[in-house]
Chain A
Amino acid sequence: MAGIEQRSVCNGVNFCSIRDERFKTIRMSVHFLWPLTEKTVSANSILPFLLSRASRKYPDFTKLNEHLAELYGAVLDADVQKLGDAQVLSVSASGIADHYSLHGESISAELAKLLCSIIFDPPFENGAFPIQSFEQEKRQLIEMLDSEFNDKRVYSKLKCERLMCAKEPYGIGRCGTRQQLQNLTREGLTQAWTNLIHRARVEIMVLGDCDPEPIYHDFYAAFQNLARTDSVNCPNTTIPKASEVNRVSEKMDVVQSKLVMGFRTDCAEPDSGVPAMKLFSALYGGTPNSKLFLNVREKLSLCYYCSSMYNPIKGLMLVQSGVETKNISHAEQEILRQLEEVRNGNFDGSELSAAKLSLCNSYRTLSDSLDGLEAWYLSQAFRPNVKSPENEAELVQAVAREEVMNAARKITLDTVYCLEGSGVEA
Chain B
Amino acid sequence: MTDWLKKIENERTGDCYFIGKHPSGLEVFLYPKEKNNSTYAVFGTKYGSIDNCFKIQKESTVHHVPAGIAHYLEHKLFESKDGDAFEQFAKTGASANAYTSFDMTCFLFSCTENVYESLKILLDFVQTPYFTEQTVQKEQGIIGQEIKMYEDDPQWRVLFNLLDALYLKHPVRIDIAGTVQSIAQITPELLYQCYHTFYNLHNMVLCVAGDIQPERVAGICDQMLKPSQPIQIDRIFEEEPAHIAKARVEQKLSVGVPLFELGFKEIVNGRRPSTKQVAETEILLEALSSSASPLYRRLLDADLINEASFGNEYFEGPGYASVIFSGESKDPERVAQEIKKEIANVRSGGFDRQVFERAKRSVYGKNIASLNHVGSIANSIVSLTFAGRELFDYIDAIAEADMDSVLARLETQLRPELCSLSIVLPNR
Interface residues on chain A, number (Cβ under 8 Å): 69
Residue-wise interface mask of A (256-267) relative to B, using a CB-CB cutoff of 8 A (1 in contact, 0 not): 100000000000
- Chain B residues in 8 Å Cβ range of A360: 93, 112-113
Report yes or no: A61 in contact with B297, Cβ–Cβ below 8 A.
yes
Report yes or no: B369 in contact with A150, Cβ–Cβ below 8 A.
no
Give Cα A136 to B301, complex, Å: 7
Report yes or no: B94 in contact with A361, Cβ–Cβ below 8 A.
yes
Report yes or no: B369 in contact with A140, Cβ–Cβ below 8 A.
no
Report yes or no: B254 in contact with A254, Cβ–Cβ below 8 A.
yes
Least CB distance, B342 to chain A, in whole angstroms: 14
A56 within 8 A of B: no
Give Cα A255 to B365, complex, Å: 42
Least CB distance, A143 to chain B, in whole angstroms: 5
Least CB distance, A322 to chain B, in whole angstroms: 5
Report yes or no: B257 in contact with A150, Cβ–Cβ below 8 A.
yes
Residue-wise interface mask of A (404-425) relative to B, using a CB-CB cutoff of 8 A (1 in contact, 0 not): 0000000000000000010001
- Chain B residues in 8 Å Cβ range of A361: 38, 93-95, 110-113
- Chain B residues in 8 Å Cβ range of A256: 145, 148-149, 151-152
Report yes or no: B37 in contact with A68, Cβ–Cβ below 8 A.
no
- Chain B residues in 8 Å Cβ range of A369: 372-373
B309 within 8 A of A: yes
A244 within 8 A of B: no
Least CB distance, A388 to chain B, in whole angstroms: 12
Report yes or no: B372 in contact with A25, Cβ–Cβ below 8 A.
yes
Beta-carbon contacts under 8 Å, A296-355 to B: 297-298, 301, 303-305, 322-324, 350, 353-354
Report yes or no: B301 in contact with A425, Cβ–Cβ below 8 A.
no
Give Cα A141 to B2, complex, Å: 56
Report yes or no: B146 in contact with A73, Cβ–Cβ below 8 A.
no
Report yes or no: B90 in contact with A358, Cβ–Cβ below 8 A.
yes
Chain A's closest residue to B251 (CB) is A426
Report yes or no: A139 in contact with B303, Cβ–Cβ below 8 A.
yes
A223 within 8 A of B: no
Least CB distance, A299 to chain B, in whole angstroms: 10
Least CB distance, A387 to chain B, in whole angstroms: 16
Beta-carbon contacts under 8 Å, B359-383 to A: 359, 361-366, 368-369, 371-374
Least CB distance, B272 to chain A, in whole angstroms: 26
Given known A143-B328, A287-B90, contact A102–B255 (CB-CB < 8 A): no
- Chain A residues in 8 Å Cβ range of B317: none
B36 within 8 A of A: yes
Chain A's closest residue to B292 (CB) is A65
Given known A22-B33, A289-B90, contact A102–B95 (CB-CB < 8 A): no
Chain B's closest residue to A298 (CB) is B142
Give Cα A350 to B155, complex, Å: 39
Give Cα A323 to B146, complex, Å: 10
Least CB distance, B120 to chain A, in whole angstroms: 16
B152, B286, B369: the one contacting A152 at CB < 8 Å is B152
Report yes or no: B399 in contact with A102, Cβ–Cβ below 8 A.
yes
Report yes or no: B256 in contact with A73, Cβ–Cβ below 8 A.
no
Residue-wise interface mask of B (304-318) relative to A, using a CB-CB cutoff of 8 A (1 in contact, 0 not): 001111000000000
A249 within 8 A of B: no
Report yes or no: B35 in contact with A22, Cβ–Cβ below 8 A.
yes
Report yes or no: B90 in contact with A255, Cβ–Cβ below 8 A.
no
Beta-carbon contacts under 8 Å, A86-139 to B: 94-96, 100, 102, 132, 136, 139
- Chain B residues in 8 Å Cβ range of A400: none
Give Cα A147 to B358, complex, Å: 31
Given known A23-B372, A69-B292, contact A364–B112 (CB-CB < 8 A): yes
Least CB distance, B323 to chain A, in whole angstroms: 19
Least CB distance, B180 to chain A, in whole angstroms: 9
Give Cα A100 to B371, complex, Å: 12
What size tier do the contact residues of chain B reach? 35 or more
B95, B154, B297, B373: the one contacting A150 at CB < 8 Å is B154
B230 within 8 A of A: no
- Chain B residues in 8 Å Cβ range of A271: none
A248 within 8 A of B: no
Chain A's closest residue to B151 (CB) is A255
Least CB distance, B37 to chain A, in whole angstroms: 4
Report yes or no: B151 in contact with A426, Cβ–Cβ below 8 A.
yes
B274 within 8 A of A: no
- Chain B residues in 8 Å Cβ range of A140: 306-308
Report yes or no: B297 in contact with A62, Cβ–Cβ below 8 A.
yes
A367 within 8 A of B: yes
B96 within 8 A of A: yes
Give Cα A365 to B256, complex, Å: 35
B130 within 8 A of A: no
Least CB distance, B353 to chain A, in whole angstroms: 13
Report yes or no: B292 in contact with A68, Cβ–Cβ below 8 A.
yes
- Chain A residues in 8 Å Cβ range of B286: 69
Residue-wise interface mask of A (145-160) relative to B, using a CB-CB cutoff of 8 A (1 in contact, 0 not): 0111111100000000
Chain A's closest residue to B86 (CB) is A288
- Chain B residues in 8 Å Cβ range of A94: 369
Residue-wise interface mask of B (275-304) relative to A, using a CB-CB cutoff of 8 A (1 in contact, 0 not): 000000000001000111110110011010
Report yes or no: A364 in contact with B301, Cβ–Cβ below 8 A.
no
B257, B293, B359, B399: the one contacting A147 at CB < 8 Å is B257
- Chain A residues in 8 Å Cβ range of B149: 255-256, 304-305, 322
Given known A65-B291, A68-B292, A69-B358, contact A364–B256 (CB-CB < 8 A): no
Give Cα A94 to B294, complex, Å: 23
- Chain B residues in 8 Å Cβ range of A73: 361-366, 369
Residue-wise interface mask of B (248-265) relative to A, using a CB-CB cutoff of 8 A (1 in contact, 0 not): 000111111101000000
Report yes or no: A301 in contact with B13, Cβ–Cβ below 8 A.
no
- Chain B residues in 8 Å Cβ range of A425: 151
Give Cα A289 to B86, complex, Å: 7
Given known A22-B35, A69-B358, A368-B374, contact A357–B113 (CB-CB < 8 A): yes
Known: A72-B368, A253-B427, A357-B91. 14 other contacts (CB 8 A): A1-B37, A24-B371, A70-B361, A73-B369, A136-B301, A143-B306, A147-B256, A252-B254, A255-B148, A289-B90, A304-B145, A369-B373, A421-B152, A426-B427
| Nearest 8 CB-CB pairings of A with B | A357-B93, A72-B365, A73-B362, A301-B141, A149-B256, A354-B90, A73-B365, A304-B145
Chain A residues with CB under 8 Å of chain B are 1, 22-25, 61-62, 65-66, 68-74, 94-96, 100, 102, 132, 136, 139-140, 143-144, 146-152, 252-256, 287-289, 297-298, 301, 303-305, 322-324, 350, 353-354, 356-358, 360-362, 364-365, 367-370, 421, 425-426
28 A-B contacts (beta carbon < 8 Å): A1-B35, A22-B36, A24-B13, A25-B368, A61-B297, A68-B292, A73-B362, A73-B364, A96-B369, A100-B365, A136-B300, A147-B308, A147-B309, A150-B256, A151-B154, A152-B254, A252-B254, A253-B428, A256-B145, A256-B148, A289-B86, A360-B112, A361-B94, A361-B95, A361-B110, A364-B112, A365-B38, A365-B95
